[in-house]
Amino acid sequence: MKSSTETDADLADVTLFAILDHATLEREFDRLLAANGPALARLAACYTNTPSDRDDLLQEIALAVWQALRSFRGECSPRTFLFRIAHNRAIAYLARDQARNPGRFPAAAVDEVHDSGPDPESGLAREQAAARLRSAIHRLPLVYRQVVMLALEDMGYAEIADVLGISESNVGARLTRARQLLRESLEKSK
Amino acid sequence: MDTELETWRREWQSETAVAPDLRRRVERQSRWLKIGIAADILVTVVIGGGVIALAAREPQAHTLLLAAATWTFIAAAWTFRLTITRGLWSPSATDTATFVNLSIGRCRAQLKATLFGAGLYVCELAFCLGWIYRYSAPRAPLGNWLFGSIFNCLVWVFSLAFFIFLAWYRRRKRAELAWLLSLRES
């Protein structure tokens, strides 16, 4: 897996998309998605309850990225740009989901969580731990879930603050609380 | 070294599910979006152009009245649409806090649009039925005419379906708005 630094370095030339022709724009779009595909899939899975919902959300994110790409002027890193769009589309998705199913807090029903990853019964402790972690993150309230997901994607406080539009101190406070909730949840699920 | 966070990162990033073929889907969806925008403009051109062509071919009071009223409705619809969406269509790459505020604004605009749409529909329906009745010959009693023909019955069924849809849509938008407001609060 690429580290965030490598990914950003790879994409360093992916700025000022506005001046690119359609074919180049398509190539850059493919490159952005290829470099961040697994991260986007993890993010989408964490906001949804089923594989088909995850794919729908991924599609919405990809479409929004494609539409916004031309106006990207390099004010932030391509990764921040991508994650902003991804979180924003996820929020719009949850708002619609809430309207379809009033009274149900969206994406909070952990019993329905789909794990496209390892089977917890596979016997491998590491895989079980990863599945437990994903379930625990999925159960977190939205504001904490967002901060944790970004932190686990190797983002620093400044970058998380840039994505979410909150202060760095707020990121720190939310992350501390989120980790506490996550620890408690993981303890219970052991 | 924050070992707990590092362990979680490793576990979290061990999930490397590959995204489905997004590129093809995005191309398809982009096409549909363009068709949707073109359809809005096409409706304006076809209906607006049609009544102007009719008025030009038969420049009589009733065709001129129809053209004037149609363009008044079109102008009202576009003016409302452009006014209400002003400032609400910034790029989707803004930070999440800004996006939530934008989404709240959009939800409120869509709720207003449903009321405006309902009002405009009633006005258009009243005008169209009145215009057809006024210039139809021979003229039947109004009550019989309104509910006596298959065409008018279809108009009433369509109107009922339209208002049921608006009520359903408003309910969904209200739920969306409530959720977004609670998210902003949190």
The pLDDT confidence band at residue B92, using thresholds 50, 70 and 90, is low
Poorest-pLDDT segment among B33-37, B55-59, B90-94:
B90-94
Q: How confident is the model at residue A38 (pLDDT cuts 50, 70, 90)?
A: confident
Domain boundaries in chain A? 15-114, 121-190
Backbone region of residue B70 per phi and psi (left: phi > 0; alpha: psi in -120 to 50; beta: other values): alpha
Helices B22-57 and A22-47: crossing angle, nearest 10°? 110
For range A177-189, the mean pLDDT: 89
Is B172 a member of any domain? yes
Question: What pLDDT score was predicted for residue A97?
Answer: 84
Q: Which domain holds residue B160?
A: 85-186
- Report CB contact under 8 Å: A102, B15: no
If we measure between CA atoms, which residue out of A66, A108, A106 comes closest to residue A86? Answer: A66
Q: Is B24 on the interface with A (CB under 8 A)?
A: no
Identify the DSSP state of A102: T
Q: What share of chain A in percent tops pLDDT 90?
A: 24
C-alpha pair distances (Å), B114 with each of B109, B110, B162, B174: 9, 6, 11, 12
Q: Which of residues 91-110 of B touch A (CB under 8 A)?
A: 91-100, 103, 107
Instruction: Quick: pLDDT tens for A62-79.
Output: 888 888 887 787 778 888
Confidence tier at A121 by pLDDT (50, 70, 90): low
Residue B16: both structure tokens together: 């490397």
Percent of chain A with pLDDT over 70: 77
Q: Average of pLDDT values for A43-47?
A: 89
**B57 vs A189 pLDDT, higher one:** B57
Closest by Cβ to A98, choosing from B12, B92, B175 = B175
Interchain CB contacts (distance < 8 Å): A and B: 153
C-alpha distance across the termini of chain B, in Å: 31
| pLDDT of B70 over the 90 cut | yes
Element (H, E) at B80: helix B61-84
Contact between B12 and A100 using a beta-carbon 8 Å cutoff: no
pLDDT of residue B88: 66
- Residue B23: inside a domain: no
Domain presence at residue B36: no
Query: Mean pLDDT over all residues of chain B?
Result: 86
Pick the CATH number of A15-114 from 3.40.50.1370, 1.10.1740.10, 3.10.20.30, 3.40.50.300: 1.10.1740.10
- The verdict on residue B49 lying in a domain is no
Residue A123's pLDDT band, with cuts at 50, 70 and 90, is low
What pLDDT is stored for residue A169 in this prediction? 93
Encode pLDDT of B118-171 as tens digits. 999 999 999 999 998 888 777 778 888 888 888 889 999 999 999 999 999 999
Mean pLDDT across B86-112? 81
pLDDT at res. A117: 46
d(CA A187, CA A132): 10
Mind listing the pLDDT tens digit for each residue in A168-177?
999 999 999 9
- For residues A39-64, give the mean pLDDT: 88
Q: Per the CB < 8 Å rule, is A41 touching B92? A: no
CA A48 to chain centre: 11
Are the C-beta atoms of A88 and A64 separated by less than 8 Å?
yes
Whether A178 and A148 have beta carbons less than 8 Å apart is answered as: yes
**What CA–CA distance (Å, rounded) separates B21 from A59?**
9
- Based on the structure, what is the number of domains in chain B? 1
CB of A69 closer than 8 Å to CB of A25: yes
Give how far A115 is from chain B: nearest CA, Å.
9
Residue A11, pLDDT above cutoff 70 = no
- Give yes or no on whether A15-114 and A121-190 have one common fold: no
Both structure tokens of B84? 């209400």
Long-range pairs for A62-66 at CB < 8 Å and ≥24 separation? A62/A33, A62/B19, A62/B22, A62/B23, A62/B25, A62/B26, A63/B25, A63/B26, A63/B29, A63/B30, A64/A88, A64/A89, A64/B92, A65/A29, A65/A32, A65/A33, A66/A29, A66/B26, A66/B30
* Contact assessment for residue A47 and residue A107, using Cβ atoms and an 8 Å cutoff: yes
The pLDDT, as a whole number, for residue A67 is: 83
Predicted pLDDT of residue A49: 83
Of residues A169 and A35, more confidence is placed in A169
ipTM: 0.75
8 A C-beta contact, residue B114 and residue B170: yes
Q: Is the Cα torsion angle A73, B102, A171, A106 positive or negative in sign? A: negative
pLDDT band at A102 (very low <50, low <70, confident <90, very high): low
User: Which uninterrupted H or E stretch holds B75?
Assistant: helix B61-84
Domain presence at residue B30: no
Cα–chain-centroid distance for residue A65?
Answer: 14
CA B43 to chain centre: 13
**C-alpha span between A53 and B37 (Å, rounded):** 26
Check pLDDT > 80 for residue A187: yes
- pTM score, whole prediction: 0.74
CATH of A121-190, picked from 1.10.10.10, 3.30.2010.20, 3.40.140.10, 1.10.8.50, is 1.10.10.10
* pLDDT at B106 (0 to 100): 86
What is the identity of the amino acid at B35?
A: I
Chain B residue whose CA is closest to A116? B17
Option in B97, B103, B176 nearest A99 (CB): B176
Mean model confidence pLDDT for chain A: 78
Q: Are A28 and A17 in contact (CB under 8 A)?
A: yes
Residues of B with Cβ-Cβ distance to A64 under 8 angstroms: 92
SS (H, E, C) A60-82: HHHHHHHHHHCCCCCCCCHHHHH
Q: Is A34 a residue whose pLDDT tops 80? A: yes
pLDDT of residue A5: 42
